[in-house]
Amino acid sequence: MDAKSPHIKNRDTPPWGLYQRNMFWRYNDRELPPFNTHPDVLERLASRKLSQNGWLYASSNAGLSHTHLANRQAFFRHKLVPRQLIDTNERSTRISLFDGKWEVSAPFGIAPVGINKIYHDQGELAVAKAAGELGLVYSLSTAGSFPIEDVGEANEEGRANRFKANENLDVDGEGSEGGNENSKKVPEAPRFFQLYMPHDDKLTLSLLKRAHESGFQACILTTDTSQLGWRHDDVATSNYAFYRGIGGELGFTDPVFQKRMAEAGVDPQKDAVKAASMWIDTIWHGRAWSWEKAVWAREKWQEIAGKDKLFLIKGIQSVNDAKKAADLGFEGVVVSNHAGRQVDGAVGSLDALESIVKAVGERRGFTVMFDSGVRGAADVMKALALGAKFVFIGRLWIWGLAIMGEEGVRHVLRSLLADFDILMNVMGVRSVDEIDASLLESGPRVYGLLNEKSKL
């Protein structure tokens, strides 16, 4: 990207693509970028950093990994068709979420992922802070390994620092820093709380209250994981972090769960294994919920947080389920198969997205979002072209966290922002609103599954 472009000052987002230029320029400062962000390389680098158990937990999939593979194959059948001679000089990666409720830097953000502490000691704190700095949506999992309050504070710290953190993009059109205040164009993105609903209603209400009081502005109920899918590698190595006393901090700091532990005679300071096991067995309990219970959770969230606070369902793959969610008044769904970690042999998430958007994508006040299988900006654009309004990213930043902690997450996210900004330019796209099916050449849903070892 040309740092001397006079158009930079007219953009409503920072020139994210300049990160590529900054990485190239490092050679002149006798430096190199932190690491290669190609997904395959990220995977290899992360595998060298993590213990066997940490690596297996991050990379394992359900069954034979056929759903995981289907997620990637679904992307392959859609090809992007670039448009030429379109003035993209003042393009914008920014979007408005939920009919203008929030402005965010880009149409993608942080997916909720549990026990980040097994990837790096900084865990969720590093991820929340980096997302806040870059104006990206952050989502915290109920299975998080830091207290809700601490993660909210880390995200708030990132938000407060977002202008200073992006000063390297303050080029003035002549290439020098300190001119146009592009860093001031980074919006204050919201943070979401992802709920694994306990079988203890009082605990559910306590979690929702803590999330609201910690500034989480929407709730996402994950419905596909009341218990873990069958993951061969994890089972074969007895690899369950919570049963090893790791990752229960979010629960240990909850007043209702503290009372439950006291009633059971469990002290997390003396027996972390028993306490963490008790916690995870309360939220991944294997008890099926109903639509009626999901409606109850939404009602309680809005009683606690306010009628304007959104409640989404994550884990939807069925058109009928998406219609049901819309009919019952939920504000949206996240089309997701948990990255292929729950049901083996299932439909690829992108294929499910296409069908669901056709069924409910035009419902007023209902937002369809996407998750599972994304490995780069081109995948984000394909999901948007098929009708998703927002895309969640998971494994990419997990690997960045494993490789280099907070700085690793920041490098992955900045690289993805740059990749998307550059892709919009070379695709001839001026705004995210212009991304639609006309940018795709799509083949039929016919592809055989290959025998392949699980990959990123």
**How far from the centroid of its chain's Cα atoms is residue 367's Cα?**
16
In the annotated binding site, the residues are 57, 112-114, 141, 194, 196, 222, 231, 314, 336, 338, 341, 371-375, 394-395
- Whether residue 175 is predicted with pLDDT greater than 90 in this model: the reply is no
Kindly state whether residue 452 falls inside one of the protein's structural domains.
Answer: no
Which tens digit of pLDDT belongs to each residue from 415-444? 999 999 999 999 999 999 999 999 999 999
Confidence class of residue 4 from pLDDT cuts 50, 70 and 90?
confident
Cα torsion through 384, 388, 394, 397, rounded to 10: 40
Which tens digit of pLDDT belongs to each residue from 177-188? 444 588 999 999
Specify the pairing of strand 95-97 against strand 78-80: unpaired
Residue 200's nearest CA partner among 282, 271, 145, 135 is: 282
- The reported pLDDT for the residue numbered 1 is 64
- Please check whether residue 171 is in contact with residue 18, taking contact to mean a CB–CB distance below 8 angstroms: yes
Confidence class of residue 447 from pLDDT cuts 50, 70 and 90?
low
Range of weakest confidence among 2-11, 323-332, 365-374:
2-11
Structural domain range at position 235: 8-442
In the annotated binding site for glyoxylate, the residues are 57, 196, 231, 338, 341
In the annotated binding site for FMN, the residues are 112-114, 141, 194, 222, 314, 336, 371-375, 394-395
- The reported pLDDT for the residue numbered 213 is 99
Q: If you average pLDDT over every residue of the chain, what do you get?
A: 95
| Cα→Cα distances 237→56, 225, 339, 452, Å | 9, 21, 21, 21
Sign (positive or negative) of CA dihedral 39, 216, 362, 292:
positive
- Please check whether residue 399 is in contact with residue 68, taking contact to mean a CB–CB distance below 8 angstroms: no
Which tens digit of pLDDT belongs to each residue from 145-154? 999 999 999 9
Specify the pairing of strand 95-97 against strand 332-335: unpaired
Confidence class of residue 454 from pLDDT cuts 50, 70 and 90?
very low
Kindly state whether residue 298 falls inside one of the protein's structural domains.
Answer: yes
Kindly state whether residue 322 falls inside one of the protein's structural domains.
Answer: yes
- Whether residue 450 is predicted with pLDDT greater than 70 in this model: the reply is no
Q: Could you tell me which residue, 9 or 412, shows the higher pLDDT? A: 412
CA distance 247 to 241: 7
Confidence class of residue 449 from pLDDT cuts 50, 70 and 90?
low
Kindly state whether residue 1 falls inside one of the protein's structural domains.
Answer: no
Question: Which strands sit side by side in the sheet containing 391-393, from one edge to the other?
Answer: 108-110, 391-393, 367-370, 332-335, 310-316, 218-222, 191-195, 138-141
- The reported pLDDT for the residue numbered 174 is 46
Which two tokens mark 325?
Answer: 């969610």
- Please check whether residue 62 is in contact with residue 229, taking contact to mean a CB–CB distance below 8 angstroms: yes
Q: Which residue has the tokens 């809700």?
A: 148
Q: Which residue has the tokens 């790096």?
A: 120
Which tens digit of pLDDT belongs to each residue from 11-21? 999 999 999 99
Contacts of 262 (CB under 8 A, 6+ apart): none
- Whether residue 399 is predicted with pLDDT greater than 70 in this model: the reply is yes
Which tens digit of pLDDT belongs to each residue from 63-102? 999 999 999 999 999 999 999 999 999 999 999 999 999 9
- Whether residue 120 is predicted with pLDDT greater than 70 in this model: the reply is yes
CA distance 24 to 44: 23
Confidence class of residue 448 from pLDDT cuts 50, 70 and 90?
low
pTM tops 0.85: yes
| CATH number of the domain enclosing 255 | 3.20.20.70
Kindly state whether residue 292 falls inside one of the protein's structural domains.
Answer: yes
Confidence class of residue 176 from pLDDT cuts 50, 70 and 90?
very low
Split into its structural domains, the chain has a count of 1
Q: Which of 66, 68, 78, 338 is catalytic?
A: 338
β-strand partners of 159: none
Q: Is 338 a catalytic residue?
A: yes
Kindly state whether residue 383 falls inside one of the protein's structural domains.
Answer: yes
Which two tokens mark 326?
Answer: 């819309």
Kindly state whether residue 288 falls inside one of the protein's structural domains.
Answer: yes
- The reported pLDDT for the residue numbered 432 is 99
- For the chain, the straight-line distance linking the first and the last C-alpha, in angstroms and rounded, comes to 29
CA distance 384 to 437: 9
Range of weakest confidence among 29-43, 157-171, 369-383:
157-171
CA distance 168 to 272: 44
Kindly state whether residue 450 falls inside one of the protein's structural domains.
Answer: no
